[in-house]
Amino acid sequence: MNVIIPDDVYVREVKVLNKSIYLFLISASFFFSGFTAIAEERPLSLGKHLFAQGNYDAAVTEYKRFLFFHPDDVRMSEVYYNIGLAYRAQGLWAEAVTSLRTATYLATGDETKSEYQLELAVTLIAAQDYDLARLELIKVTMRAPSAQLYRRALFLQAVAYIYQFRWEAARELLRNYTTDERLDMLFNAVTDMPQKSARLAKVLSSIFPGAGQVYVGNWKDGINALLLNGALGFLTVDAVLDGYYVDAALWGGLIFWRYYRGNTFRAGRAAEQFNLQESRGAADTILQRLQEIVGTP
């Protein structure tokens, strides 16, 4: 038996069905747009959480996941910046520098670009690439940033100079930052710090083996060089006196001469190492004082 549906009832049912489909599509669009937003935010929030927990490698993975799925997002510079900080925390200097350079390049505002560039300079200083660090800091100062960023750029330039043992250049920059008397005394002391002459050390060891090492305060190596070269010289002379000229040539030409030349070379290196250690000690003292000044309210 066929049931005949009146036209008006059919029309009402079609309208209800169309309305239901319309509401369903609207609800679905809201659902999936919300899901997309959650999917976008999850790697970023998780990356920040992992970074705060010290799990830097996992944080980098989450940040890179975000970049892979959202290559045109406006937050790309911030994400690269966070990746650079995570790499730096792991001591991966090359990767950190690359990421921070990318973050600086992608940054739009001048202040943000300057902030990222300052962190890039800090990373380059940590990587002992002081010349490149100063180059980045000069770029920041040429951009005419805020007073706070400008002062920090000058401060970091002074730090780079200190690590390079360029005391007067560092002092000149820090005069714009602080007038601390103790810091000025430390610079005076390091400027007048005596240095050992590598050339004189070599000459002394050439005249008297081990004397150059003693000159720089390395008594142990000096005595060792004296005893070793003295013993080899004695064997050479003794072989000559006994008529064993082949043995004398072997002892003197091959063995004694080698250790004698090595003795003079090591004397020069000892002087250079002495100067380097003294300069590093002075730099550490100055940097410690700077840290105290920065931490002073």
Q: pLDDT digits over 50-60, tens only?
A: 999 999 999 99
Q: Are residues 59 and 138 in the same domain?
A: yes
Query: What is the number of other CB atoms lying within 10 angstroms of the CB of residue 200?
Result: 16
Among the residue ranges 7-16, 86-95, 286-295, the one predicted with the least confidence is 7-16
Domain end among 129, 160, 194: 194
Q: Are residues 100 and 172 in the same domain?
A: yes
Q: Are residues 203 and 187 in the same domain?
A: no
**pLDDT, tens digit, for every residue of 172-222?**
988 878 888 898 899 988 888 888 888 888 888 878 788 888 888 877 877
What average pLDDT does this structure show over 16-33? 39
Q: What pLDDT score was predicted for residue 263?
A: 76
| Sequence-separated contacts (24+) of 147-155 with Cβ below 8 Å | 149/111, 149/114, 149/115, 149/118, 151/176, 151/177, 152/118, 153/114, 153/118, 153/121
Domain end among 162, 194, 226: 194
What average pLDDT does this structure show over 87-112? 94
Q: Identity (one letter) of the amino acid at 211?
A: A
Q: What pLDDT score was predicted for residue 9?
A: 42
Residue 2 has pLDDT above 50, yes or no: no
Question: Number of structural domains, the chain?
Answer: 2
Q: Is 294 inside a domain boundary?
A: no
Q: Are residues 185 and 206 in the same domain?
A: no
* Domain around 128: 43-194
Q: Is 145 inside a domain boundary?
A: yes
Q: Are residues 190 and 205 in the same domain?
A: no
Average pLDDT of every residue of the chain? 79
Sorted by sequence, the CB contacts under 8 Å of residue 290 that are 6+ apart come out as 159, 174, 183
Q: Are residues 105 and 239 in the same domain?
A: no
Q: What pLDDT score was predicted for residue 15?
A: 45
Q: Please, what is the end-to-end C-alpha distance for the chain in angstroms?
A: 95
Q: What pLDDT score was predicted for residue 268?
A: 85
Q: Are residues 116 and 130 in the same domain?
A: yes
CATH number, domain with residue 188: 1.25.40.10
- Secondary structure class of 9 (helix, strand, coil): helix
Q: Is 104 inside a domain boundary?
A: yes
What average pLDDT does this structure show over 228-245? 66
Q: Are residues 99 and 161 in the same domain?
A: yes
Q: What pLDDT score was predicted for residue 296?
A: 53
Residue 158 has pLDDT above 80, yes or no: yes
pTM above 0.75, yes or no: no
d(CA 30, CA 215): 81
Q: Are residues 222 and 261 in the same domain?
A: yes
Q: Is 84 inside a domain boundary?
A: yes
Q: Is 230 inside a domain boundary?
A: yes
How does 61-85 read in b/e, with b if 16+ C-beta sit within 10 Å? bbbeebeeebeeeeebbbbbbbbbb
Q: What pLDDT score was predicted for residue 38?
A: 40
Q: What pLDDT score was predicted for residue 201?
A: 85
Q: What pLDDT score was predicted for residue 235?
A: 62
Residue 41 has pLDDT above 60, yes or no: no
Q: What pLDDT score was predicted for residue 245?
A: 62
d(CA 21, CA 36): 22
Q: What pLDDT score was predicted for residue 62?
A: 92
Q: Are residues 149 and 267 in the same domain?
A: no
Token representation of residue 237: 């002379």
Q: Are residues 182 and 242 in the same domain?
A: no
Q: Is 16 inside a domain boundary?
A: no
Residue 236 has pLDDT above 60, yes or no: yes
Residue 88 has pLDDT above 90, yes or no: yes
- Check: CB of residue 182 under 8 Å from CB of residue 190: no
In the chain, what are the helix, strand and coil shares in percent, each to the nearest 5?
80, 0, 20
Domain end among 138, 170, 194: 194
**pLDDT, tens digit, for every residue of 142-157?**
988 898 999 899 999 9
Q: How confident is the model at residue 246 (pLDDT cuts 50, 70, 90)?
A: low
Q: Is 37 inside a domain boundary?
A: no
Q: What pLDDT score was predicted for residue 195?
A: 85
- Secondary structure class of 175 (helix, strand, coil): coil
Q: What pLDDT score was predicted for residue 22?
A: 40
Q: Are residues 144 and 208 in the same domain?
A: no
Q: Is 99 inside a domain boundary?
A: yes
- 217 φ, ψ to 5°? 95, 5
Residue 232 has pLDDT above 80, yes or no: no
d(CA 190, CA 285): 10
